[in-house]
Structure 1
Amino acid sequence: MKVVLVQCALAASRTKNTYLRDKYHRLAGRRGKKKAVVAIGHKILVIAYHILKDKVGYKELGGDYLDRRNKDKVERYHVNKLRQLGYDVLLAEKAA
């Protein structure tokens, strides 16, 4: 079963604009590719469990889900990076 989940995780890591691809690349940068593949395989198994348990379809969250969910954290991260590079940063909301 682990082999199948790893193959599914590798395939999911190559898809475009999906939650699993984004999660894989975030994990691979921190933990390494092999551990990231196993973690994505586990995530696929958890998703399948909830689909079967709750009798609902899979809802793709999108590749930018984690950025949307953690908007404040992403803003702070990038502002701090720019300050470390010597820039003075002032954030303003974009008028829609």
Structure 2
Amino acid sequence: MLTECAWAAVKTKGTYLAAYCRQVMRRQGKHKAVMALTHKILVIAWNLVSTGALYDDPGAAAGRTNTTEQQRRRAVRQLEALGLTVTVEPRTDPRAA
């Protein structure tokens, strides 16, 4: 029954659980992602029952913390993996002068 709840959560849009499942699905496949989501739902339910709190969905963007600095570091690592030497300097804007 909990697995059916997980499959239903996968089909929702704009929720944390659906975004989490899509993230795991990219790495491990559909069925393992649904089982991971089942476990996450069980952990959430346990915490809600034990604390008496209400569930507040953090939203689909809650797990994403992809800042521009992280993007820059990832791009540098990828270029260095290709054997290139990378020097990062701030761009000078010709309109600023």
Q: 1:81 to 1:41 in 2, by over 3 A?
A: same
Aligned counterpart, 1:59: 56
Q: TM-score, normalised by structure 1?
A: 0.71
1:67–1:74 Cα contact (<8 Å) kept: no
Aligned counterpart, 1:24: 21
Q: 1:74 to 1:28 in 2, by over 3 A?
A: farther
Percent sequence identity over matched residues? Answer: 35
Aligned pairs (5 A) from 1:33-48: 33-48=30-45
Structure 2: state its 5+ residue gaps.
82-87, 92-97
Report which of the two has the higher share of helix.
1
Instruction: Give the whole-Å Cα distance in 1 for the aligned partners of 2:31 and 2:63.
Output: 21
Q: TM-score, normalised by structure 2?
A: 0.71
Letter in 2 for 1:67: R
The offset of 1:71, in angstroms, is 3.6
For the aligned residues, what is the CA RMSD?
Answer: 3.0
Higher Rg of the two aligned structures:
2
Q: 1:5 to 1:22 in 2, by over 3 A?
A: same
Structure 1: state its 5+ residue gaps.
none
